[in-house]
Structure 1
């Protein structure tokens, strides 16, 4: 490569304290309201579903439709959100997402029937999918390379914080106002508040300097950079950005043809897709969306399940904090292998507990709750944030947007099918059969990680790009696999 990237550079002036660091923190806080909305909108259905189904006359399948419509729309939002932000700007796209979050909330809160509800959920889904790609890109492009991982990772932490907030709000509203006819509409209405905060907050935030450079707006990019860096660092980093933007334009000519004619690039795309799909096939989002239903099936009554459901939300946030702390200390492959081993073990134990403890046994709900919490903790600590970080770093520069978009699209599609059929599956084979099935898939995913997924930690993006393109990264991965298996 002709230039030294920020990731590998030692020539940039060191980061310094000052008002610019506080400004960067504020920008990250406002932008991650997109992650908070992502989490709240995907989590609120967990407690709202049962009263909503009762009022609108939904069955197991139409409950799945109401839930999964958001997820399938998120797949489309993920594919097109990134492309829109490339042409229109990161900041404007996030402002548009805030409008979609607000409009979708209004449709859901005032819906008279399933059709309008699904329209609202689709609008919310487009916003959620867009946020899942645009907000991390916005943060990564504003962050200094030294703290890029932890700053971009805050978005994932805000997602699980949003889900926890949804579980807490559901429990409070469900137990205080559960006797009201339209209680689930109140649960959804709360979502309007962070949407308003994101809209007005982003009006005062800067555009990504990386995007401005690509559009030839150098003076604006420098002005933005000086608000989030020291003056010396801003000018040095801007020069780096101009080099990168120049190379991206040169390498951007490669396109689909270059990917399809290089088997190593096809392979890394399949690995990205496989990892995203494996993350979803743990069933994590089935628990985050339908946790109350699982806990009721295990023996809790409805109000107790709403309260008990907060526990997985709390452990998800705790796991996210731990994951951020160890992100640059433990190899990605080892993290994935530990996570899949733990989640598969939890699935097996939930299946065994459900099979051996009959309904009515007072221990049954508490043991299943403990195992569900252990599963969510394992997932969030070792798999969730790590998968998103891995997807953002594994693809070469010229196919990074495309590779990330396709991988996230497939992740959302699998998430959508699970959401659509999870309740039908539980109706058909019970908790026992459902979690044994998840365990079988988890064992296959573990085999996939050990034999196929290459290591990326501690490498510059340029070194990774060269090794991925030539296939050298897979040779290193095979040696690592033999060491791991021994």
Structure 2
């Protein structure tokens, strides 16, 4: 079932499939909304530090080094959480893993809000990072495995939409609480505790969601897999798709695909992991999370007052959400690889201009709004092209039996890259100033373009099973 979009952008229906009943489409939408609350928590917990950090710095007495530790401890936890979450989801199931992550999101957010010292805050942010990393892997895989081929791009990138919506919610909440609370002690604690609410929704929602049909098939539970497929496909298509999935599951079982040993011993898997690692690094070395974590600080340095920077930073959140809507629309009409390259060209150009404006314009209103305009342009390309394609491709390219593990390992690379950037960014700005720091990201962007052009595969328009066969042949 090689499903490809036609020139007009309308997805073709797989051979032999009948029309999808309305109740089936509605069930698929509900599953997507509930699961992507994991993405909302991912976005809120990574974005909230942007506005909370200035208040936290005063209350906890942070230095540039401890400021970087508070920010990046979540990222280090996310690296560990990504690989642990991937292994857990392969072993215990996608649904059970998301339920466990909801509990960890709640406990981590509460611990951050109540942290009395820097050390406790770093530990709590690390624990919260375990949940963020686990969600970054498990939710896209769950959505990819439950989605029909022709809707996979749109449904998986709903998670990216929820991530940026979570960041916008964090920016807006920070601005509201900052204006209402003013300079009151502990105002940042209210910013952090809000994240407990979507964690509760995620846990209760996933209690009534089904397991991934492909995970069930990989465990030999074909009757259960068929029952789930009938919830989200027409009956005729569910039976046809199960036959295809069962055949591939048997092939993977014969090859015993599933972990580190396979990655080292099977040449095509080694090459595929190299590609996965590269895509993950490319997404981070654009410098996106310097904007997400330190956007308020960047705007303050450019010439905004603290309150004005909090408010202006909402523009970054708004453009991220709007751009993600555009990205979802484009994914059904444009191939993944050209879309990724266009996004990289746009972000690299925007960062170059941020560096130039910071260097040549005097501090004040003109420089402040010029930098804000470029951060908005940067995020339009990042969230409209690079981020949706990255998480979608990582959820698609790995074999079924080790999909959670493979994406988990790639996500470790992504989060470790994120960790290093988050840790050193304040020190880089203090040491070589913001202009030269952004010029470093420009160089990284140019190298990323070369990598994507040479190595990234095209994944659009295939079922996961057809795509696995193509990649196996390509990299063998």
Residue of 205, 208, 212 corresponding to 1:201: 205
Distance 1:158 1:231, change over 3 A: same
Match of 1:445 in 2: 448
Match of 1:270 in 2: 274
2:194 pairs with 1:190: yes
2:28–2:232 CA contact under 8 A, matched in 1: yes
Alignment of 1:188-267 (within 5 A): 188-253=192-257, 256=260, 259-260=263-264, 263-267=267-271
Report deviation, 1:341. Answer: 1.4
Alignment of 1:387-402 (within 5 A): 387-397=390-400, 400-402=403-405
* Residues 456-486 of structure 1 deviation map (CA, whole Å, 9 limit, x = unaligned): 334555555455444479xxxxxxxxxxxxx
Residue of 36, 41, 45 corresponding to 1:41: 45
In 2, Cα distance between the equivalents of 1:15 and 1:170?
46
Alignment of 1:264-303 (within 5 A): 264-303=268-307
In 1, Cα distance between the equivalents of 2:474 and 2:261?
18
Match of 1:484 in 2: none
Distance 1:85 1:408, change over 3 A: same
Distance 1:65 1:472, change over 3 A: closer
Alignment of 1:288-327 (within 5 A): 288-327=292-331
Distance 1:268 1:154, change over 3 A: same
1:77–1:129 CA contact under 8 A, matched in 2: yes
Report deviation, 1:314. Answer: 0.7
2:459 pairs with 1:422: no
* Residues 143-166 of structure 1 deviation map (CA, whole Å, 9 limit, x = unaligned): 222312211111111001100110
Q: Report the TM-score, using the length of structure 1 for normalisation.
A: 0.90
Match of 1:373 in 2: 376
Distance 1:254 1:375, change over 3 A: closer
SS at match of 1:329: coil
In 2, Cα distance between the equivalents of 1:205 and 1:457?
27
- Of structures 1 and 2, the one scoring higher in RCO (CA 8 A, sep 6+) is 2
Residue of 348, 353, 356 corresponding to 1:349: 353
In 1, Cα distance between the equivalents of 2:246 and 2:216?
10
In 1, Cα distance between the equivalents of 2:254 and 2:303?
61
Single out whichever of 423-432 and 446-455 deviates more from structure 2. Answer: 446-455
Distance 1:88 1:457, change over 3 A: closer
2:165 pairs with 1:165: no
Report deviation, 1:344. Answer: 1.1
1:5–1:240 CA contact under 8 A, matched in 2: no
Distance 1:233 1:451, change over 3 A: closer
Residue of 18, 24, 33 corresponding to 2:22: 18
Q: Report the TM-score, using the length of structure 2 for normalisation.
A: 0.92
Distance 1:397 1:438, change over 3 A: same
Match of 2:411 in 1: 408
SS at match of 2:377: helix
SS at match of 1:44: helix
In 1, Cα distance between the equivalents of 2:254 and 2:3?
19
Unmatched 5+ stretches in structure 1: 474-486
SS at match of 1:58: coil
* Residues 43-77 of structure 1 deviation map (CA, whole Å, 9 limit, x = unaligned): 00000001011101111110110110101110111
1:340–1:446 CA contact under 8 A, matched in 2: yes
2:339 pairs with 1:335: yes
Match of 2:7 in 1: none
1:348–1:436 CA contact under 8 A, matched in 2: yes
Unmatched 5+ stretches in structure 2: 5-11
In 2, Cα distance between the equivalents of 1:209 and 1:471?
27
2:423 pairs with 1:435: no
In 2, Cα distance between the equivalents of 1:395 and 1:59?
42
